[in-house]
Amino acid sequence: MEILFTFIPKEEQQQRLETEFPQVDFHFLYKDKTRLPSADIIVTYGEDLTAEDIAAAEKVQWIMVASAGIEKLPHQAIEERGITVSNVKGIHKIPMAESVLAHLLSLKRSLPTIYENQRSQEWNRKIRSSELHGSTALILGPGAIGSEIGRLLQAFGVRTIGCNRSGKQALHMDEMVSFEHILEKLPEADYVLSILPSTDETKQLLTTAHFKAMKNTAIFMNFGRGDLVSDAVLLEALESEEIACAVLDVFEQEPLPTDHPYWTMDNVVVSPHVSSHSGKYVERALDIFIPNLKKWLADQTIPANLVNMEKGY
pLDDT in tens, 204-233: 999 999 999 999 999 999 999 999 999 999
* Cβ proximity of 285 and 91 under 8 Å: yes
Dihedral of CA atoms 57, 283, 164, 134 in degrees, nearest 10, equals: -160
- The string of pLDDT tens digits covering residues 52-108 is 999 999 999 999 999 877 888 999 999 999 999 999 988 999 999 999 999 999 999
pLDDT at 310: 75
pLDDT at 274: 96
pLDDT at 68: 73
Distance CA 123, CA 158 (A): 32
pLDDT at 37: 97
pLDDT at 184: 97
pLDDT at 31: 82
Distance CA 266, CA 280 (A): 33
pLDDT at 275: 96
* Mean pLDDT value across residues 113-124: 97
> Up-side HSE of residue 201: CA atoms within 13 Å toward CB?
14
pLDDT at 72: 86
Quote the mean pLDDT of the chain. 95
Distances (CA, A) of 153 to 2, 10, 104, 248, 286: 44, 34, 10, 19, 29
Whether the predicted pLDDT of 311 surpasses 80: no
Whether the predicted pLDDT of 125 surpasses 80: yes
- Provide the sign of the torsion angle of the four alpha carbons 15, 16, 19, 25, taken in this order: negative
pLDDT at 19: 97
42 sits in which H/E element: strand 41-44
Quick one: pLDDT band at residue 300, thresholds 50, 70, 90? Answer: confident
State the pTM of this model: 0.86
- The string of pLDDT tens digits covering residues 241-284 is 999 999 999 999 999 999 999 999 999 999 999 999 999 999 99
Q: 46 vs 152, which has greater pLDDT?
A: 152
pLDDT at 287: 96
pLDDT at 76: 93
Distance CA 208, CA 152 (A): 30
